[in-house]
Structure 1
Amino acid sequence: MSDEKVNTLIALGAEIIRTPTEAAWDSPDSNIMVARRLAKEIPDAVLLDQYNNPCNPLAHYDGTAEEILWSLDDDIDMVVIGAGTSGTISGIGHKIKERCPKCIVVGVDPYGSILAQPEDLNKTDVQIYEVEGIGYDFLPNVLDRTVIDKWIKTEDKASLNMARRLIKEEGLLCGGSSGSAMWGAIQAAKTLKEGQKCVVLLPDNIRNYMTKFISDQWMEVRDFKPTVKRNLQWWENPLRKDIVQPIQTIQHTSTPAEALSMLRKSNAPVLAIVDDKGCITGVFTADNARKRIANLMGSTAEPLQNFSIKKYYKVDVADKPTLGLISRILDIAPFIVVTQSDLLHNEKPLGVVTADDLLLGITAGQANGN
């Protein structure tokens, strides 16, 4: 989740507990299971549980659906809605089917999620997606697939670029899931005839994503947007070996204390945590360890994996990254891990690049006429 959401909640007085993105929903470390545990441990705690709370779809049955039907005189041909907890699409779908049976209800679900039917639509290699607020790795109890006539699967690149189009061309300051819904609507509406009415729900706003898809650099480093070109002699040059400093590796079975000792001895900005095959599984930094310990989220007695950063900025040498791309990533990241992947997508760490490395590399190149 974006830092903007976290900072807003902190400003409201909330205590934030971070859970790992990659944790399965039924893992003890997942957001859902941590919330359930805290609800039992904290006196007078209330768990709203939007995945199972019948008031979730009921609010949209009584409210959102009525607003849509009133606005269009109960005459709608298609409604397109993103599926997350699925309360919105289930509640709206039920009410609209009652009052306007001809209406086609379309659910939008990102690749990497399992909500769509038939299940064959969900077959993909995607494990993590950037669009927030839609898609899950389990079926919420409030999801009623019987009211959904058609599913559209979406990808991050198309969704986030569509959200940026809505902002730029329509003046609609929306979020990434709105881009998913609109992209899905454009695909689904191809079956409609001229004059038929298609409603698309845009449920989120720009506030939560100022440092994510609104940022050109953020989009560029994920290959969602072409890298901006600068009129600099070195910008399009490929990343050179002399700019990449070696990266220290540490086995995933090691301890945080051993990782801290290795960092201190090597004076490196980051360690690559590797498995038994030497493939990178995450990175370890002193700053992340400090934050975890200072915020009472853990101790050095825990397994090293608890201190592992799974989402970090990296480039693969097979993609022939340019110095311009490296510079753009370093605008928003303290370091970049350089990797090499094999045909099975196993990643081996080769090195790391910091702003100092790039600066010394390009200034040395200029001195040499490169």
Structure 2
Amino acid sequence: MDFSNNILETIGNTPLVKLNKIVAEIDALVLAKVETFNPGNSVKDRMAVKMIEDAEADGRLKPGGTIIEGTSGNTGMGLALVAIVKGYKLICVISDKQSKEKMDILRAVGAKVVVCPTDVEPTDPRSYYSVSRRLAEETPNSWYVNQYDNMSNSLAHYEQTGPEIWKQTDGKITHFVVGVGTGGTISGVGKYLKEQNPNIKIWGIDTYGSVFKKYHETGIFDENEIYSYITEGIGEDILPKNVDFSLIDGFTKVTDKDAAVYTRKIALEEGIFVGNSAGACIKGLLQLKEHFKPEDVVVVLFHDSGSRYVGKMFNDDWMRERGFLEENITKAEDVIKDHIDKELIVVRTEELVSHAIERMRKYKISQIPVVDINGFVGSVDETDLFRSYVADKNVAEKPIKEVMGKPFPIVKLGTPIEEVSKLFSKENDAVLVDLGNGHHHIITKYDIIGAIK
């Protein structure tokens, strides 16, 4: 009989799959190492086992102990599987930018999940780095994994992932491309491959808001580069010990939008349902296409499963809210189609300024058309009302007609978006769209910005 003694024995030996349509413009053989075939659905299963076994061997982790780790979700899943098999408790500290699916999955496999804010410095006591360390200090018989600086991380990939790729490509690999977060995968695989053939190029995929690319190129840790970003699993605002920059030949940065768009493209064009960092890797690969020749064998690693992003990159509403959905916005009607059924809020000439202010607060809007029995005769916006109030504290009791500005321009549903955009100016912050049958809708600058691709 052919069976595994426990789920941990199924980790590794993941398939190498040729990519076709999505890399059509790359003149080389491109192969994807699809790590979602691991039981925890990510590459992190490999190093989770290695880190725990090494900690057991040197006494850092004792029987019945509690494992504590700051994670973007995937390492936590790998640790959870090992904890279940070996009888440990697990506390995962996760940032609030991670998908709800990741948090739910961790809880499903028995982990206690502590959520921390993303937009804080690493040294802030609320950061998931700081909270992880504090919990380790406060929890009896616990072990803080610290995947960023735990060298068993990269060692796992040196011992497993690197040799697998070398064997699967029959030693013909010329380039390895992978997203960089903790650095374990790129450093472990890179070290093994370069030992076999020093000419193999190792490329890291970074994201905007991360420090890796500039630090690699200049040696400067530039805090000005650090800001919040959406892409999950790659990039850092610290320099983990597992990132061996001497093994990396170069980095390319990928935007949040491109990472999200290409995550969906992989599923649609290759039938491979993988996560956010895979999208970043494919876009990065395309940005590097001039580095590849027809005879090259390029391996790109897909970290995790798309199932962890169904509420994000694979959700149309989430993508649309961030301007990531590749829709063809060409006319006025395209801009308003998702909220065309909303009532147009207006104010009448004889109503008081206080009524307009109350309406702005209630509906959270900044511009309101002014009407009388003949139709649209003016407009008010929050900036004008503020200026009027500064000039005259009694303005709230004055009629709208005394403070209103010019009426907003009116366009047809089929008006090209370029023509609509030209109607905005310092003096005009909105445009009305004629829906027919006496009904109108409003387009603001915010709507136009949201439609920019």
Could you state the TM-score of these two structures normalised by the residue count of structure 2?
0.52
- Mapped to 2, the partners of 1:236 and 1:247 lie a distance apart of 21
Distance of 1:125 and 1:85 partners within structure 2 = 18
2: distance between equivalents of 1:152 and 1:232? Answer: 34
Partner SS, residue 200 of structure 1: strand
Match of 2:172 among 60, 64, 75: 75
Q: Secondary structure at the match of 2:103?
A: helix
Within the candidate set 168, 171, 174, 2:271 is matched to 171
Shift of 1:236: 7.8
Shift of the 102–233 alpha-carbon distance from structure 1 to 2, 3 Å rule, reads closer
Residue 184 of structure 1 and its aligned partner are, at CA, apart by 1.0
Contact 2:278 2:303 in 1 (8 A): yes
Gaps of 5+ in 2: 1-97, 347-358, 365-412, 414-425, 427-432, 441-453
Q: Distance in 2 between matches of 1:15 and 1:233?
A: 43
Tell me the residue number matched to 2:128. 31
* Cα separation, 2, equivalents of 1:167 and 1:26: 38
Q: 1:234 to 1:225 in 2, by over 3 A?
A: closer
Unaligned runs of 5+ in 1: 250-322, 324-341, 343-361
For 2:191, the aligned partner's letter is H
Counterpart position of 2:250: 150
- 2:355 aligned residue: none
Of 318, 329, 348 in structure 2, the residue corresponding to residue 218 of structure 1 is 318
Classify 1:70/1:225 alpha carbon distance in 2 versus 1 (closer, same or farther; 3 Å): same
* Greater RCO (Cα-Cα under 8 Å, separation 6 or more): 2
Q: Please say if 1:181 is aligned against 2:281.
A: yes
Query: Equivalences for 1:357-368 in 2 at 5 Å?
Result: 368=438
What secondary structure, in the 3-state scheme, does the structure 1 residue paired with 2:113 have? coil
In the TM superposition, what whole-angstrom CA distance separates every residue of 1:256-298 from its partner, at most 9, and x where no partner exists?
A: xxxxxxxxxxxxxxxxxxxxxxxxxxxxxxxxxxxxxxxxxxx
Per-residue CA distance 1:291-341 (angstroms, 9 max, x = gap): xxxxxxxxxxxxxxxxxxxxxxxxxxxxxxxx9xxxxxxxxxxxxxxxxxx
- Name the counterpart of 2:303: 203
Match for 1:48 among 134, 145, 152? 145
Q: Is the Cα–Cα contact under 8 Å of residues 111 and 124 in structure 1 kept in the other structure?
A: no
1:134 is aligned to: 234
Match for 2:181 among 67, 74, 84? 84
Are 2:411 and 1:369 aligned?
no
Q: How many residues align?
A: 260
**DSSP 3-state at the match of 2:112:** coil
TM-score by length of 1: 0.63
Given that 1:121 and 1:153 are in contact with CA atoms closer than 8 Å, whether structure 2 keeps it comes out as no
Q: 1: distance between equivalents of 2:168 and 2:232?
A: 28
1:61 aligned onto 2:158: yes
- Is 1:246–2:361 an aligned residue pair? yes
Max radius of gyration: which structure? 2
CA distance in 1, matches of 2:439, 2:111: 55
What is the identity, as a one-letter code, of the residue corresponding to 2:135?
L
- CA shift, 1:18, in A, is 1.0
Counterpart contact for 2:193–2:200, Cα < 8 Å: yes
The answer to whether the 8 Å contact 2:226/2:237 transfers is no
Structure 1 residue 159: deviation in Å?
A: 1.2
* Deviations 1:116-155 (CA, angstroms, capped at 9, x unpaired): 2214897977722111000110100111000000111110
Deviation of residue 65 (structure 1)? Answer: 0.3
Q: Which residue of 2 aligns with 1:192?
A: 292
**Residues 3-42 of structure 1 correspond to what in structure 2 (within 5 A)?**
3-42=100-139
1:160 to 252, 260, 263: 260
Q: How does 1:221-370 map to 2 (within 5 A)?
A: 221-226=321-326, 235=337, 242=345, 245-246=360-361, 368-370=438-440
Question: How far is 1:52 from its partner?
Answer: 0.8
Tell me the distance in 2 between the aligned counterparts of 1:67 and 1:233: 49
Query: How many Å separate the matches in 2 of 1:108 and 1:220?
Result: 25
Instruction: Letter of the 2:264 partner, please give it.
Output: R
Cα drift, residue 180 of structure 1: 0.7
CA distance, structure 2, for counterparts of residue 102 and residue 233 of structure 1: 51
**Aligned-residue CA RMSD in angstroms?**
3.4
Q: For residue 210 of structure 1, report the CA deviation from its aligned partner.
A: 0.7
1:189 shift after superposition:
3.2
Local SS of the residue matching 1:88:
helix
The residue that corresponds to 1:358 in the other structure is none
Q: Is the 8 A contact 1:189 1:198 kept in 2?
A: no
Structure 1 residue 75, shift from structure 2 partner = 2.1
Question: Equivalent pairs: percent with the same residue?
Answer: 33
Gap change, CA 1:190 and 1:232, over 3 Å in 2: closer
Decide whether aligned partners of structure 1 residues 122 and 367 sit closer, same or farther in structure 2, where only a CA change above 3 A counts.
Answer: farther
Helix, strand or coil for the counterpart of 1:219? helix
1:310 — aligned with what? none
Distance 1:17 1:247, change over 3 A: farther
Query: Once the 2 structures are TM-superposed, how far is the Cα of residue 59 of structure 1 from its aligned partner?
Result: 0.2
Deviations 1:213-264 (A, max 9, x none): 1011111111112458898996388998728741699xxxxxxxxxxxxxxx
Q: Which amino acid aligns with 1:130?
A: I
* Deviation at residue 17 of structure 1 after TM alignment: 1.2
Letter matched to residue 184 of structure 1? G
Q: Which amino acid aligns with 1:11?
A: A
One-letter amino acid matched to 1:118: E
Higher strand fraction: Structure 1 or Structure 2? 2
**Which residue identity does 2:192 align to in structure 1?**
K
- Which residue identity lines up with residue 242 of structure 1 in the other structure? I
Compute the displacement of 1:32 (Å). 0.9
